[in-house]
Structures are given as structure tokens and as C-alpha cells.
Amino acid sequence: MRLSGAIRKRWRGKRLRVGLVAALALSSPAWLQAAEGTNGLLIAQSAAPTELSPEEQATIAVFERATRSVVFIANTAMQRDPWSFNLFEVPQGSGTGFVWSRQGHIVTNYHVIYGADAITVTLADRTEYKAKVVGADPDHDLAVLQIQAPETALQPVIIGNSQSLRVGQKVLAIGNPFGLDHTLTTGVVSALGRTIKSMSNRTIEGVIQTDAAINPGNSGGPLLDSGGRLIGVNTQIMSPSGAFAGIGFAVPVDTVSRIVPELIKHGKLIRPGLGISLVPDAMARRWGVKGVIIGKVGRGSIAERIGLHGARETVGGRIELGDIIVAVDGQPVETIDDLMDLMEKHKVGDEVTIDYVRGKRRLQVMAPLQAVN
């Protein structure tokens, strides 16, 4: 049977479409496969949902549970209009914090609330509360706020420990970078036992280093282990430009657990010490002294009781150096930071061994520690 030119043309076109469909079905992956619809057009087939791995499911579960404990903190300062002399609030910064107790205690970094005239805390359910500062410790970059919120709205974070941390273990950082909603970054513990400087120029010992991204706004947020337990408070990044460069730091939770109850109870950290004032390190170095020079011994202090001497002026008007502390419990002391760090490993009432130099003699004495400001 001979076909007309028009019929032959339509037949060839139909065969071409059928061949194209067959070729696609044979060569394309499942998510690109297509079928010919009733109108002759190719219709894409929807793919089956991808299954989440057990690790992904665990991470999602930790994030969903932990975000109920994470809060957004806004810091505002009062300024006066130079023309009208009216006072108005100016946003000064923001950061992250987390719920410590059902009594409304919120933990964050000291630098997040530094210089604030007013602080607002936003919970995970978007409710906002005015917060007051309960206590602060600039030396460890920690602060405790309190809000008046219903206990049912407060979900305290699960407290872990930092003693058993291992380099390489997975960690999760939750925060509010740039004022955005809760965000999650993951990484590993890159190093342990790092030392960083706080706003008060004191060293913070035992710091956790992580490659989990800690961006502006993440400060004060929790660093969690894979089980969702708090292991640190995100505090700093190392970057010349201020952008995250793969190195972040967190104050270890063992330090946080020691300091926060003190801040809640006393409003400040009650430190153990000897009741002495010290000569600045720069002056000690200028005099060629290796150790910490006692400048003054407090009246009625432990130092006075155990016979330590401060600097004094001789009859001829010459200054005689005080005793020089060179070790505590066998650990060498070269700077004021060294001494304070060693003291902070103890509690008030603990007894320590003090090695000191008087003249050309090295002496040793046992001393119970007292509470000092």
C-alpha cells in the first residue's frame, strides 16, 4: 500500500518520538526517566524520596532537641540625641545563649552583654523577655542572665563533661549568626588544652578547639557532643578578617559548671587565694626577677598568718622586694596568670604548698586558701 507524502511524514515523526522515549528510558537514571503522555509530550517521573542515613537522623534529632534550649540575645545601649536630648535605645550587638535552669537562668559570653543598658532574650518559641545580669566573669568570658518566664517554656540544656573529650570526635555548634534563626554547624574536636585571652586579658586554660563554624552571633551558644550534651560554650574564632577560617574556640563545660553556680549565688567568681597583692609582671621582668613578687600582705590574711612578706621601705629609703613565689604544688610560677591559674584549680579551704624565695634562700610553706575578690 502506498502512503501519501503527508501520511508518511506523520508516521516518521511518530516513530522518531517513540524511539526517543525508548532511548531515554534505557540510558537515563531513574530520576530522569519519562513517559509519553496522552498528548504526546514527555512527562517527568517523580523519584522516590532519599533515605537518610542513621548518622543524619541522629544529628537531626540532636538539633531538634537542643534548639529548645538555645536562645537569641540582643544587647542595646541608651544614647541621647544631641539635638533633642531625648534618650533612645540603639542596638549594640547580639549573640546566643542557652537555658541553664528552669528558674530562668541563661548562660552566654560576657562579651555578648558587655556595655548593655538593656538585654532581650528570645526563646525558641519566639517569645521575648527582658533579662537582668545575675553575674559575670570577664576573666573566663562567661555571664549569667535571668528572665521571668514560665518553667514550661524553659528547657535546660543537658550538661556533659569535657574531661573525656578526644581529638577527632564529632561536635555540633548551635547559634544565631547574623541574627538569623537557629543554625547548625558540625565538625570535630581539633585540639584540646588550648589557651586564649579573654576581654580582661587573662588567659583561659583548657580551651576546646573545633573546626565547626563559629560565626558572629554564635558567641555564647552551646558546643555539643554527638549525644546532644553540652561540652563547651562557643566564644572566639581565629581570623584576621573576622570571618570563620576553620578555627573556633569554646570554654570547656567543666570550667562552666564550676563558675556558673558561683555567679548565680554570689554574682561573681569567689576565687581561692592567699590575701596578697602582687607587683606587675612588667616590673618584675625589669628587675630581672623570675617569679611573682608579693607587693603587700593583707592584714589578717592567710599570707600574714604563714609569715609571707611584702615589699617594704628600709630606714635608708630603699625599697626591699617582698617574697617571690616561684611554685605552687610543685608547678612553676613565672607570671601572675600562672599563679591565678594554679589557684583556680582549687577551692577555698584547700591546702597548697607554696615555694618562695626570700633574699637568696628558697623556702617552702603549707597554706590553706581563703576567699579573695
- The whole-number pLDDT of residue 79 equals 56
pLDDT tens column, 150-209: 999 999 999 998 888 999 999 999 887 655 578 888 899 999 988 888 887 888 888 999
- The whole-number pLDDT of residue 82 equals 56
CA distance 229 to 5: 78
Task: State the cell numbers at 34.
Answer: 519519562
pLDDT tens column, 305-356: 999 999 887 777 677 888 999 999 999 999 988 898 899 888 888 999 999 9
Residue 139: which of 306, 350, 334, 336 has the closest Cα? 336
Asked whether 287 and 323 are in contact (CB, 8 A), the reply is no
Residue 113 host element (H or E): helix 110-113
For the annotated catalytic residues, the residue numbers are: 111, 141, 219
Asked whether 311 and 324 are in contact (CB, 8 A), the reply is no
215, 257, 320 from 207: Cα distances, Å: 18, 14, 39
The pTM of the full predicted model, rounded to 2 decimals, is 0.72
3-class secondary structure, 256? helix
Residue 212, pLDDT above cutoff 60: yes
Task: Centre a 10 Å sphere on the Cβ of residue 37 and count the other Cβ atoms it contains.
Answer: 9
Query: Which position has the higher pLDDT, 362 or 89?
Result: 362
CA distance 335 to 205: 14
45 pLDDT band, cuts 50/70/90, is low
Asked whether 187 and 173 are in contact (CB, 8 A), the reply is yes
